[in-house]
Amino acid sequence: MVVLSGDDAMASILGHIEMSSGSISVVHVDDLCRTEILLAEKETASGRFICCSLNTTAVALARFLALKYPQYNVKTDRFGGLPEKPKVCISSAKLVGEGFQFKQDTLDKIYDGAVQYGRALGILPY
């Protein structure tokens, strides 16, 4: 939401996250909840699981949001110097191996609900 809200300080943190981890890992909260339920109910599931439906970059995220939501005047140049593509891709292969399938696996699907919720809360204008 920080990219849409125009909060430069928080957007800067997003850039630092990408610099330290090599990508921005994204998952929809519904998929995260479904993961928790699946693993709690599955007796054979053990250890740690990564829940990440896609890996992106701040640059790619800003460009996507600028195209999808032009009314928010997303600053696509604020992440200058960061790579276009993720340097590191975090894998949810272990989770998928347990039978999980992500329902929200694109930025489109993930952000549609988030923007609606942000508008309902008044964080984002209509």
The span from the CA of 68 to the CA of 119, in Å, is: 15
Give the CATH number, domain containing residue 24. Answer: 3.40.50.720
Full domain range(s) for residue 27: 2-120
Estimate the share of the chain in helix, then strand, then coil, as percent rounded to the nearest 5: 50, 5, 45
- What does the pLDDT look like over 13-37, one tens digit per residue? 999 999 999 999 999 999 999 999 9
| 26-71 per-position pLDDT tens digit | 999 999 999 999 999 999 999 999 999 999 999 999 999 999 999 9
Residue 44 C-alpha from the chain's centroid = 28
The verdict on residue 18 lying in a domain is yes
Flag whether 126 is in a domain.
no
Angle (CA) 90 95 96, round 5°:
95
Nearest to 33 by CA among 100, 124, 112: 100
Summarised one tens digit per residue, pLDDT across range 77-98 is: 999 889 999 999 999 999 999 9
